[in-house]
Amino acid sequence: MILFSPVRHSPDGLTLADQAVNAIEQAIEARVLRPGMTMPSIRRFARDHQLSTFTVQVAYSRLVARGFLQARPGAEYRVVRPGSGPERPVSTVWEAPRVGPAWLLSDVFADHSIAIKAGCGWLPPDWHNETGLQHALRQLARVPVGQMASYGHPLGYRPLREDVVRYLNGYGVEADVEQVLLTHGATQALDIVTRTVLRPGEHVAVEVPCYANLLQILVLNGIVVHGVPRMADGLHEATLQQLAAAYPLRAVFVTSVLQNPTGTSFSMAGAFRLLQWAERHDLIVVEDDVSRELLLEPAPLLTALASTRRVVYVSGFAKSVMPSLRVGYLVGDEDLVRRCAQTKMSLGLTSAEIMERTVHQVLRDGRQGAYLRDVRARLGRAHDQVCQQLHEARFEVSHEPGAGLFLWARPGVPIRTPGGAVGLAAEALQRSIWLAPGAYFYPDGRDEGWFRFNVAYSASPTLWKFFADAGLT
């Protein structure tokens, strides 16, 4: 029907879903596929082209959003002639969403119309451990409904909490299962910790640039935020000392490895300096550690160097298993975890045990280790390629970790677009390119021209042509 040979590890950075979308669009425009024709089922298209059904589902959904296909009852898809025909919505012009913090933090997660997601925070859909996930779901289907019909334990599914304990014990963290609270993703864990240990009007320190969602959590809870520059090996020590002398700080929030958005990781010396400073000033350290399993080499884990008395550990499975499962966790001393469990129950009762059981099955399946090794290798190659493209475009790259999802870079010449980096991101959306401007990662919204690049999505020539057209290369 169409000539399509998907290329894994595509040199131009296109995911398998991107390639399928492009091939089908070209076939429709060339009238190889004509209006009214029925597309192969998702399962058949996946089998014929050796793709996962998840990848084909993503591609078909994107084509529906762009008006090339129409979904019919019974999971049937038919070709639509773009711009004409009664089956097409009245408005045929794709309208880019309005860039801004609200879109970055919420709408983007439901927006499948963006072709190049250079600013997103997750792995491409077709990188995930599909075999392990399918096996986990088959195993879960055998569990009697009666065993999963209740709300579950407030702390979360015990076997998965035991998995977390074994994982952390391997890094030297002394904790037991009663010190682990499962949450609806790591972001909810940060919110629960904030609501439990802090009160409106209290002061905290955060690294800058900082995880954008954390900034919103702190603002929504009425916390006064002070920024500390994130350096290649940790936090800027002089700023820490100045803040501690000037304000009654209660806590400091940090990402120990592969920080979002800079990709930096603490050195051992940087970790000890931070913990000594927190000890002197009796501060709580909240360690966000969601990307550790993407590391190529060992790096300090603050909770292991101190203890759960001083450090609250937050992580999850969005990077290592799949973000849509929304399973995270926090680890602290037993008293704090009990109080956090009360906060969790007040906010939304228990977390989803079905999702927690799924993650547990994935972890015990035996394929996860090989999957993570493959992801680390693919990300390493993506870092090499995107770093080369950034240097060729004469961008300034703040740090080159060679691992994880992110690079933090800015053009080597001033951005002339009205609105700076944010204005340039708005223009990029008109070209179906998602950029993440640095202003979203600073408490004061400053614009210094930085962007967060997800290396798994940033090798597309279309992205770099956009920068060239904007006069930035």
Tens of pLDDT along 41-50? 888 888 888 8
Q: Where does residue 329 rank: exposed (0-12), middle (13-18), buried (19+ CB within 10 A)? A: buried
- How far apart CA 381 and CA 183 sit, in angstroms, is 33
pLDDT at 87: 37
pLDDT at 106: 47
Q: Which two tokens stand for residue 202?
A: 């209290």
Beta bridge partners of 436: 452
**Residue ranges, the chain, pLDDT below 50:** 83-97, 103, 105-111
pLDDT at 75: 59
356 φ/ψ sector (left φ>0, alpha ψ -120 to 50, else beta) = alpha
Strand pairing class (203-208; 224-229): parallel
- How far apart CA 223 and CA 200 sit, in angstroms, is 5
The answer to whether 302 and 254 have CB atoms below 8 angstroms apart is yes
- How far apart CA 408 and CA 415 sit, in angstroms, is 16
The answer to whether 37 and 78 have CB atoms below 8 angstroms apart is yes
pLDDT at 98: 54
Chain centroid to Cα 348, Å, comes to 23
What would the pLDDT profile of 176-201 be if each residue is shown by its tens digit?
999 999 999 999 999 999 999 999 99
What's the whole-model pTM score? Answer: 0.78
Give 354's contacts (C-beta < 8 A, 6+ positions apart).
140, 148
Give 75's contacts (C-beta < 8 A, 6+ positions apart).
41, 42
